[in-house]
Amino acid sequence: MDNKTFYDWFAQTLAGYFKKDWSGALLAVVILAIAIELVTDGRSFFHPSNLMTILNNSAALGVIAGGMTLVILTAGIDLSVGSVMGMTAALTGYVASYWGFPPVLAVLFGIGLGLSIGLIHGTLVARFGMPAFIVTLAGLSIWRGTGHLTTGAQATPKLDSLFDFFGRYNPLSPLREGYREATLPEFLMPLGQWVDANWLEYFRTFQMSLVIFIVFFIVLGLIVKHTKLGRYTYAIGSNEQGSRQAGINVRLYKTLAYVICSFTAAFGALMFLGRAPYAKSDYGQMWELDAIAAVVIGGTSLFGGRGSILGTFLGVILLKLINNGLTLAQLNTFWQMIVLGMIILLAVGIDIVRQNASPERIKQVLFAIGAATLLFAAMHPASSYFGSLIALHEHQSMQAILDAGGQLAPNQMTRLLDSDALIAVQAVVSSQALLAWGLLIATIAGFVMVGSPSRMRALVLGGVIVASAVGLMLQGLPGFPVLMLGLVTVLGSLMTDDLFQRAKAVH
Amino acid sequence: MKSFVKMIAAGAVAASVSLTALAGGHSKITVGYITKSATNAGWIMINNGASDAAKEVGAKLITVGPAFQGDLSSQLEVFENLTSQGVSAIAVAPVDSSGIAPAVKAAMDAGIPVVAVDTGVSGAEVTSFVATDNEAVAEIQGQEAAKLIQDGDKIIYVTGNQAQSTGQERRDGFMKGFKQSRPNSEILIVPTEWDSNQAQAGVEALINNHSDVKMIVNAWDGGTMGAKAALENLGYGAGDVKLVGFDGATDAIVAMDEGWVHVDTAQMLYKMGYEGVKAAVAAAKGETVSKRIDTGTFLVTPDTSAEYKKLIGM
């Protein structure tokens, strides 16, 4: 009986969790973090100082994505944030370095710039009814050009230390210095000593970037949840006509969304300057895509009216987690791009399934994750096998041209292998063939089974995963832990129906 | 949007060519100079060299950049426009070595000399190729960097774009030069697309998890400055982790004076643009021009930095 209550509670909690807009993003963050932890060596991925580094490097983009969330909630879009960020960064640094503006004035100037640009965008969209996509696409070009023109696209010297307070400044450093110079009041000395002793391990990466980032999201979250501005933003996004009829000043609140968005772009620029080596007008290129991706991964609908600030926070973390984790894992650059895309698909896939929740769909996602872990496991043997196979084929084709008396261009010449390389390549081809093909066929079979998952198929897929894991271990290749993750997910599908029934029964 | 920009670029070329025809008379030599970027610090130096050379020999220089960095189609269109307008010679920095080849061939066939600057052309003859050999310079960078550490010390290498030949050659050259004398050193990689922000975030992530890294080598000086910012963000001081640069950019040389950067291999960027346009003018006059002009390299160390600064007028 007791056992059953726990099971009910578990089903209920799970159903409640997946009602949240941000559940897909959080799940993807957790899965990815565990996967990274399993494949990296050296210091634990979950080490606080690494997590703080991720937050520090997410901060500038994060703040901008926060502003973007508001615009997207009104069913709008702002493609100009990257350019506004770049121009603000460049001009703020420029007036501080070359026009003798005191740093504080330069900062105010930058923020003023952001607010004015937002007002222009907002007015064009809300008052003159121009499509947001077009207005901000024009902005993307205009503001980038203005930034390049006014600063000559040249970097500034290193900026004043005031900018450090938006970025690299460590709020604990006075404690540490005070302790080292013995100028701290007596009662703070033990604290100072503790901070100093754990400086490298823990406190070094506790910086203003992450402090501002977190505070900003708490404030923005409260605004969106508890003020008129927030409620009206959702209302306008889900039904603009209806909102107008209900007496909401649609123009005002739409304009405000763009003002806030450009403000966050300008503020993001200041935060970026706090960590960057200098100010330059090519900062923030393609950031509009990253910001929009973070918002959408976080479960906010591109059509407006549905979404959350917490989701965007998690979306930003997910994007930066991917960068950080893949760098730590020292994965090949081109593989990183592919993995990045797949993880984004996973996060958004979870979100879609969540919305039309049926046990069938959930099982499909679980199967897909299982099949994806097989693909990850296949990556290493398959890329070395196919790489060698292709090199061998290229060699033979070039040799054939030579044998037929043809000429080779220089970059064709490099495809010819010398005898040592030929032997090495042939050795890889013969030793990895079985494993590579086996894993690939298993992966394809796994994805095919996603079509109609069943109890039987879950057991088969689980068996294949175990067999693959053994195969990898025998060859001394990495990937065992990731496969175990996949096994757990696939076996989880056995419980889906039951959990669903219970969650329903409680309601 | 793109075709609109191209139209403007094409219009600008047409306008400036006809203006030249009106103002310059027929004896003046006109060189079309197609650059890769007008905003990148390195390219600004190359472009300055090009325009100074034109002033010096009294030639008219028409400078045209692509709509955005790496835009082959607009570069091809500009190239064809210049050819049909009948400029005396063309100096070009191709965004794509083989993509530009048909246009180069058409110009050469029409009797217009073509000088390739910085990046070579594969699949067509050019009058001259003026550049530094990236791989050779990177090999020197690797050899010099190796001297800064012991064999077995862990290092970080910040790459350029690995989908471009420049990025690949610098990486291959460095690995070759470095591994000769330091075969047991572990090399951690930070991949970038020539973006100093990627360099900074990547170095920060790695240094955090590998506190025993002794040196950070960079494929270009934007990466050097990003790596320096990462070290500063983590509270390191000058010299705690050695930095090695590539390009000899002014901010990296300043960082060398402060003790951060220990070795930098400079391409003679200004000289590249300067020699490129001079070769184009000489060819237009019918003089013989060397097929390959190596603009060389300058090894900048704290000992030689004063000499280098004098050379580039810093």
Q: Residue B81: which pLDDT band, with cuts at 50, 70 and 90?
A: confident
d(CA B228, nearest CA chain A) in Å? 7
Cβ-contact A139, A80 below 8 angstroms: yes
Q: Residue A185: which pLDDT band, with cuts at 50, 70 and 90?
A: confident
Average pLDDT over residues A330-351: 75
Average pLDDT over residues B139-162: 94
Question: Is the Cβ pair B206, A57 closer than 8 Å?
Answer: no
Out of A245-254, A272-281, A422-431, B282-291, which region has the weakest mean confidence (pLDDT)? Answer: A422-431
Spatial separation of the C-alpha atoms in residues B11 and B78, rounded to whole Å? 10
- List, in sequence order, every beta strand (DSSP E) within B14-127: 30-34, 60-64, 89-92, 114-117
Separation of CA B228 from chain center: 21
Nearest to B251 among A153, A278, A328 (CB): A278
**pLDDT number for residue B1:** 45
pLDDT value at A243 more than 70: yes
Helix (H) or strand (E) holding B174: helix B165-181
Supply the DSSP symbol for A330: T
Nearest to B209 among A43, A277, A278 (CB): A43
| Chain A interface mutation, best of B48, B209, B211, highest count of A Cβ atoms under 10 Å | B209
pLDDT tens-place string over residues A192-222 = 888 888 887 888 889 999 999 999 999 999 9
Those residues with Cβ within 8 angstroms of residue A249's Cβ, 6 or more apart along the chain or in another chain:
none
B172 touches chain A (CB under 8 A): no
Identify the contact set of chain A against chain B, taking CB-CB distances under 8 A: 40, 42-43, 47, 49-50, 53-54, 56-57, 137, 141, 148, 153-155, 157, 167-168, 170, 200, 204-205, 207, 272, 275-278, 281-283, 285, 320, 323-324, 327-328, 330, 333-334, 336, 409-411
B101 touches chain A (CB under 8 A): no
pLDDT value at A1 more than 50: no
A193's tokens: 């000593």
Nearest to A330 among B159, B188, B251 (CB): B188
pLDDT value at A2 more than 60: no
pTM exceeds cut of 0.80: no
Nearest to A204 among B162, B234, B251 (CB): B234
**pLDDT number for residue A166:** 94
- ipTM rounded to 2 decimals: 0.71
Give the CA distances from residue A418 to residues A405, A421, B175, in Å, rounded to whole numbers and listed in that order: 19, 5, 20
Look at A51 and A479; give whichever has higher pLDDT: A51
If contacts are CB pairs under 8 Å, which of residues 245-264 in chain B contact chain A? 251, 254
Average pLDDT over residues A146-168: 89
Nearest to B202 among A153, A327, A334 (CB): A327
Question: Is the Cβ pair B232, A328 closer than 8 Å?
Answer: no
Average pLDDT over residues A13-17: 80
Average pLDDT over residues B1-6: 48
pLDDT tens-place string over residues B151-194 = 999 999 999 988 877 889 999 999 999 999 999 999 999 999 88
What chain B holds in terms of domains, given with CATH numbers, is 2-132+269-295 (3.40.50.2300), 134-267 (3.40.50.2300)
A119's tokens: 């007002």
d(CA A168, nearest CA chain B) in Å? 5
Helix (H) or strand (E) holding B158: strand B154-158
Average pLDDT over residues A79-107: 95
| Chain A interface mutation, best of B122, B233, B258, B292, highest count of A Cβ atoms under 10 Å | B233
Furthest C-alpha separation in chain B: 67
B210 touches chain A (CB under 8 A): yes
Spatial separation of the C-alpha atoms in residues B265 and B143, rounded to whole Å? 11
Question: Is the Cβ pair B162, A42 closer than 8 Å?
Answer: no
Average pLDDT over residues A232-257: 94
Out of A41-55, A157-171, A274-288, B254-268, which region has the weakest mean confidence (pLDDT)? Answer: A41-55
Residue where the block lists tokens 């006809």: B18
Question: Is the Cβ pair B206, A283 closer than 8 Å?
Answer: no
**pLDDT number for residue B310:** 85
pLDDT value at A467 more than 80: yes
pLDDT value at A333 more than 60: yes
Spatial separation of the C-alpha atoms in residues B217 and B227, rounded to whole Å? 9
Look at A455 and A96; give whichever has higher pLDDT: A96
Cβ-contact B182, B147 below 8 angstroms: no
Phi and psi at B263, nearest 5°, equal -140, 140
Rg (CA), chain A: 27
pLDDT value at B24 more than 80: no
Nearest to A327 among B41, B205, B254 (CB): B205
| Chain A interface mutation, best of B1, B154, B196, B208, highest count of A Cβ atoms under 10 Å | B208
Look at A362 and B302; give whichever has higher pLDDT: B302
Cβ-contact B208, B177 below 8 angstroms: no
Out of A216-220, A307-311, A431-435, which region has the weakest mean confidence (pLDDT)? Answer: A431-435
B22 touches chain A (CB under 8 A): no
Out of A104-108, A238-242, A402-406, A481-485, which region has the weakest mean confidence (pLDDT)? Answer: A481-485
List CB contacts (< 8 A) between B122 and chain A: 409-411
Average pLDDT over residues A418-437: 86
Average pLDDT over residues B102-122: 89
Q: Compare all CA atoms of chain A with the CA of B38 and give the residue at the minimum distance.
A: A153
B191 touches chain A (CB under 8 A): yes
User: If phi over 0 gives left and psi between -120 and 50 gives alpha, with beta otherwise, what is residue B194?
Assistant: left
pLDDT value at B19 more than 90: no
**pLDDT number for residue A101:** 93
Average pLDDT over residues B9-30: 51
pLDDT value at B249 more than 90: no
pLDDT value at A381 more than 80: yes
The Cβ of residue A152 has, within 10 Å, a number of other Cβ atoms equal to 12
Question: pLDDT averaged over chain B?
Answer: 86
Q: Is A42-169+207-331 in CATH node 1.10.3470?
A: yes
For chain A, domain boundaries:
42-169+207-331, 359-403+413-506
Average pLDDT over residues A328-342: 75
A403's tokens: 């044998």
Look at A164 and B13; give whichever has higher pLDDT: A164
Nearest to A148 among B39, B195, B211 (CB): B39
B159 touches chain A (CB under 8 A): yes
Question: Is the Cβ pair A141, B1 closer than 8 Å?
Answer: yes
Residue where the block lists tokens 């002033």: B55
Question: Could you write out the three-class secondary structure of A410-453?
Answer: HHHHCCCCCHHHHHHHHHHHHHHHHHHHHHHHHHHHHHHHCCCC
**pLDDT number for residue A476:** 75
**pLDDT number for residue A359:** 80
Q: Of A307, A292, A304, whose CA–CA distance to A250 is shortest?
A: A304
pLDDT value at A229 more than 60: yes
**pLDDT number for residue B138:** 94
Question: Is the Cβ pair B251, A53 closer than 8 Å?
Answer: no
Q: Residue B20: which pLDDT band, with cuts at 50, 70 and 90?
A: very low
Phi and psi at B31, nearest 5°, equal -115, 125
pLDDT value at A4 more than 80: no
Question: Is the Cβ pair A53, B205 closer than 8 Å?
Answer: yes
Q: Residue B177 carries which side chain, given as an amino acid letter?
A: G
**pLDDT number for residue A494:** 85
Q: Residue A70 carries which side chain, given as an amino acid letter?
A: L
Spatial separation of the C-alpha atoms in residues A400 and A82, rounded to whole Å? 51
Out of A81-90, A412-421, B132-141, which region has the weakest mean confidence (pLDDT)? Answer: A412-421
Q: Residue A268: which pLDDT band, with cuts at 50, 70 and 90?
A: very high
Kind of pairing, strands B128-131 and B292-294? Answer: parallel
Q: Of B216, B249, B246, whose CA–CA distance to B232 is shortest?
A: B216
Question: Is the Cβ pair A56, B228 closer than 8 Å?
Answer: no
pLDDT value at B6 more than 60: no
Nearest to B208 among A53, A157, A410 (CB): A53
pLDDT value at B243 more than 90: yes
pLDDT value at A134 more than 70: yes
Spatial separation of the C-alpha atoms in residues B210 and B188, rounded to whole Å? 10
Average pLDDT over residues A465-494: 83
d(CA B281, nearest CA chain A) in Å? 28
Separation of CA A59 from chain center: 12
Helix (H) or strand (E) holding B299: strand B297-300
A386's tokens: 């196919």
Q: Residue A227: which pLDDT band, with cuts at 50, 70 and 90?
A: very high
**pLDDT number for residue A221:** 95
The Cβ of residue A420 has, within 10 Å, a number of other Cβ atoms equal to 8
